[in-house]
Structure 1
Amino acid sequence: MEYSLEQVLDKISEKEGVKGVLVADESGLCLGTRGIAKSAGAAFVASIANSARSLSDVSEIEDKSQYSTVSIELESYKIIIRNEGSFTIAVFQ
């Protein structure tokens, strides 16, 4: 079963502890947000994920589950950023 981006955003944002979610494309354009995530942050999220990805030898990574994950802890929430190939996702907890 395939899900639309809107359905995926809704599903993630409904999980316990999730305050927001943002999805950006490879260029940093916002594809969608939920909760406290703001579309203006899409370029920053994509840039952080791309920078983290460049620290590893991407040519050797065949399994997307091995892509870099970045965690940023702030006073009131944490942001988990992960590049998934053609898009980047940020989950605010």
Structure 2
Amino acid sequence: MERNLDKHLDDTFRVPGVAGVICTDEHGLCLGAKGIATRESAGHIANIAESAARLNPNMPNPVISIEGEGGSILIKKEDNITMGIYKSPN
């Protein structure tokens, strides 16, 4: 599984405009990080996804976008895995 996860992280990181990528488990444990994504942010990423899902528990897990002058972060939880994609500003 680890090799498969690394391949997915590498493939995502190679997409133009992606500055970093992180993957966490349901407890916020960092499973992998590339680029500007730091392992220390794993718990925050997982918590944001979990909190957003609680806003409307009858809907599928949302995609969260956090935007700022330095770029944006897209966060999505699927099953027990949460992924964050850091994008460079356009």
Q: Same fold (TM over 0.5)?
A: yes
Residue equivalent to 2:81: 87
CA–CA distance in 1 between the matches of 2:74 and 2:6? Answer: 19
CA–CA distance in 1 between the matches of 2:10 and 2:16? Answer: 12
| Aligned-residue identity in percent | 38
**Alpha-carbon displacement from aligned partner over 1:36-88 (angstroms, at most 9, x marks no partner):** 00000000000000000111224xx5xxxx42111001211100011111110
1:53 pairs with 2:47: no
CA–CA distance in 1 between the matches of 2:53 and 2:61? Answer: 7
1:7 Cα deviation from its structure 2 partner: 0.2
TM-score by length of 2: 0.89
TM-score by length of 1: 0.86
Map 1:1-93 → 2, pairs under 5 A: 4-58=4-58, 66-93=60-87
Cα RMSD (Å):
1.3
Give ranges in structure 1 of 5+ residues lacking alignment.
none
Aligned residue pair count: 85
Structure 1: which 4+ aligned runs deviate by more than 2 Å? none
CA–CA distance in 1 between the matches of 2:36 and 2:56? Answer: 30
Give the counterpart letter for 2:9 in structure 1. L
